[in-house]
Amino acid sequence: MDLSFLFANTVNGAVYGAFLLLTSLGLSLVFGLGRVVNFAHGALYALGGYGLVAVMQRLGLGFWPALVVAPLLVVPIAIAIERVTIQPIRSRPEIYTLLVTFGVSFMVIGALEYVFGTATTLVEVPRLFAGTVVIFGNEFPIYRLAAAGLSLAVSGAVFAFVQFTPIGLRIRAVTDDPGMAEALGVNTTRLLTLVFGAAAGLAALAGALGAPIFAVHPEMGSGILLDSFLAVILGGLGNLPGSAIGAFFVALTKSIGGGYVADWSIAILFVVVAIALVFRPTGLFGRGRVA
């Protein structure tokens, strides 16, 4: 296979990486802030996809308005989840939030199956971005590139928010040293609820954005959950730049690996992550907080 093939896979990998970024950032923030491993993240992604479909079908909205509305519908649900199932057990060992969110994900997916049925819904690509574009002799769907661009823009906004705003400062403070931040008057409980809701919004946006590519079905979140998890662990929980690098690494490995070795590609990813963790248990860029 030649350079053209490598190029095609690299671009496709980068596109998926942009998606993964949206979900990984949220996952990383929530863990870094509250030491909460959110296993329901994939279910929130699925809720975003279903929100899009429901809004388009039941309210008759077009794709773009629906894209904005869907995440806004998911955020209150996520906040309710956080209040009811996560807050009460924050003082317990981390494994318990993982377990409870695991149960929540079953509930959400079961509810989606019950309400919408188990069938898959194909979502048409918005006409504005239909068709393909040729880059260096390779055809790429315009929508994928546009969606990736949008994901990058939103991710960039998240980065900027965390880096340059007062709330962002508090988030970074709590991630760094929760005890000190509390002592200085930061309401960590409220902050976590806020961040959890925002992370859910990002995941929902990713689900809605990805709907024309990956279709909408109840189990749509499980693949991206695992990938986001790996990305965040690889990069270092709570470390945003690290998670970004992790996301692109996972996406590119899957894409280039898939292109060259197909059935083995997933194993490569796991081997790399395992080796990386053995030598750097807190992630490649983690800052020494032993998980």
Partner 1 sequence: MAASRFAKSVLLALFAAGAAPAFAQDTLKVGVLTIRSGPATPVGDDIIAGIETATRMYGPVLGRPVELIVEESQWNAQQAVTKATKLVQQNRVAAILGTSTVEALALLPVADRLGVPIVTSNSGSAAITRQNCNKWVFRTNAEDLMSAEALKYLLAQNPKLAAAKWFTLGHDYPFSRLVAGTVKQVTGANYVGDAFAPLDTADWSPFIARARASGATAIMMSVTLGTPLLQFVQQANEFGLTKEAQLVAPIGLPDWLVAKLGPLSTNIISAGSWAAWRYEEVEPATKQFNDAFFKQHGRVSGMQALQSASAALMLYNAITKAGSTDPDAIVKALETVDVRTPVGPLRFQPGGRQALVPMFLGPYEAVNPPRYGAQFAQVVEVFPASKSLPPTGPEVGCKLK
Partner 2 sequence: MRKTAGLRGLVLPLVAAGILAILPYAGASPFTITLLTESLIFAIWAMSLDLLVGYTGLVSFGHAAAFGLAAYAAGYFAREVTGDFFFALLVAEAVVIPVALGFGFVVARVSGIAFAVISLCIAQVLFTIAVTWRSVTNGMDGLVGVPLPRVAGVTLASGNAFYLLTVLCLVAVYLWLTRLVDSPFGRTLQAIRTNEERAASIGIDVHRHKWLAFVLSWAVAALAGTLMVFLKAGTTPMSLHWTESGNVLIMTIFGGIGTLLGPVLGSTVFVFVRDEFTTRFKAWQFVFGLVFVVVVLLFPTGLVGAVNRIRSFLWRARS
Q: Which residues bind partner 1 (CB under 8 A)?
A: 1-2, 4-5, 8-9, 12-13, 15-16, 113, 118-122, 125, 132, 138-141, 143-144, 213-215, 217, 219-220, 222-224, 254-259, 262-263, 265-266
At residue 204's C-alpha, the angle toward residues 83 and 72, to 5°, is: 70
CB atoms within 10 A of CB 138: 15
**Site track for partner 2 across 34-63, x = CB under 8 A:** ---x--------------------------
Quick one: 165 or 280, whose CB is closer to partner 2?
Answer: 280
Hey, what are 41's tokens?
């993240």
Quick one: 105 or 155, whose CB is closer to partner 2?
Answer: 105
Q: Is 89 in the site for partner 2 (CB under 8 A)?
A: yes
Q: How far is the CB of 8 from partner 1 (least distance, A)?
A: 4
Quick one: 146 or 291, whose CB is closer to partner 1?
Answer: 146
Q: How far is the CB of 192 from partner 2 (least distance, A)?
A: 17
Residue among 121, 137, 126, 141 nearest 54 (CA)? 121
* Options 102, 116, 159, 285; binder of partner 2; rule CB under 8 A: 102
What is the DSSP track for 8-63?
Answer: HHHHHHHHHHHHHHHHHHHHHHHHHHH----TTHHHHHHHHHHHHHHHHHHS---H
* Options 230, 244, 245, 250; binder of partner 2; rule CB under 8 A: 230
**Rounded to whole angstroms, how far apart are CA atoms 238 and 25?**
9
Which entry of partner 2, partner 1, none binds 277, CB below 5 to 8 A by partner kind?
Answer: partner 2
Q: What is the largest CA-CA distance in the chain?
A: 59
**Rounded to whole angstroms, how far apart are CA atoms 45 and 58?**
20
Contacts with partner 2 in 242-271 (CB under 8 A)? 263-264, 266-267, 270-271
